[in-house]
Amino acid sequence: MKVGLLVTGDTSVRAAHSLQALSSISEVVVIGPATSKSFRVVDTAEGCDYLVGSGLDAPDQARRHGKPLIWDGHNRAENVAVWGASPVGLAIALASREPDLRLVAVAHPDIDDARTTRTTRFPYPVGRLGVRDEQIGGHPVAVAHSPSEFAACLAVGAERKVTVVDDAAFLSGVALAAGLAAVTGSGPIWDAALPYLETATEMGLVMAESA
């Protein structure tokens, strides 16, 4: 499989490096104009099976190239094959595996620090933070601004707690790249949670479980 990188920010570049860990990927190319020391730069997306991109401009770029997109946005958009490939989507994917779910929460430096309504304790070194409740793809998620370079995803069920803590930039890149494993038609990554999570761990994320 050949994947084209849309140069839409640091997250997409990090995702390209994570994609190199997958044996199913024959080549990752950068769609120019751009420069890269790590990947071949090409003028068009010809021959690419999928594009990977982050941010609001990525769907329009994918549409112009006429290729399906793996995206970190949280809503359906034209020419997007998989969406929700983000830390928030990762948390929802974790939660989808838990019966009798009690809490889904995400802390990340890129989440704004707007008014919070309560606090939640995230794993070390993130710690207790103020959160606000949002609805993402019909799923309730408590989101928090992380004041450090670390991010955390948390899913609490009746019998166990599953967490992911890592460097925020690395986690975002893996969350986007692993979206390639969720291609089953057109939908969010949490609709293919198991292959998505398995691929994220293959790319280096560590998921911890506690009772």
Q: Which helix (H) or strand (E) holds 195?
A: helix 193-202
Instruction: Please state, as a whole number, how many other Cβ atoms lie within 10 Å of the Cβ of residue 38.
Output: 11
Closest C-alpha among 138, 58, 126, 125 to residue 96: 138
Domain boundaries, the chain: 2-86+171-207, 87-167
Q: What letter represents residue 73's amino acid?
A: G
CA–CA distance from 195 to each of 19, 111, 126, 155, 191 (Å)?
15, 26, 27, 18, 10
Give the pLDDT score at 38: 84
The full DSSP string for 101-138 is --EEEEEETTS------EEEEPSTTT-EEEEEEEEETT
Given a contact cutoff of 8 angstroms between Cβ atoms, the answer to whether 48 and 67 are in contact is yes
CA–CA distance from 147 to each of 9, 10, 113, 126, 151 (Å)?
21, 19, 9, 8, 9
Query: Both tokens of residue 135?
Result: 């609805």
Sequence-separated (6 or more) residues with CB below 8 Å from residue 46: none
Q: What DSSP character marks residue 68?
A: -
Query: Cα dihedral sign for 179, 181, 183, 187?
Result: negative
The pLDDT tens digits along the chain (211 residues) read 999 999 888 999 899 999 987 888 999 999 988 888 888 999 999 999 999 999 999 999 999 999 999 999 999 998 899 999 999 999 999 999 888 899 999 999 999 988 898 999 999 999 999 999 999 999 999 999 999 999 999 999 988 999 999 999 999 999 999 999 999 778 999 999 999 999 999 999 999 988 6
* Buried/exposed code over 154-178 (b: 16+ C-beta within 10 A; e: otherwise): bbbbeeebbbbbbebbbbbbbbbbb
Give the pLDDT score at 24: 86
2-86+171-207: CATH homologous superfamily? Answer: NAD(P)-binding Rossmann-like Domain (3.40.50.720)
Closest C-alpha among 150, 180, 164 to residue 28: 180
Give the pLDDT score at 93: 96
Closest C-alpha among 71, 80, 97 to residue 175: 71
When computed from its CA atoms, the radius of gyration of the chain, rounded to whole angstroms, is 17
Give the pLDDT score at 134: 95
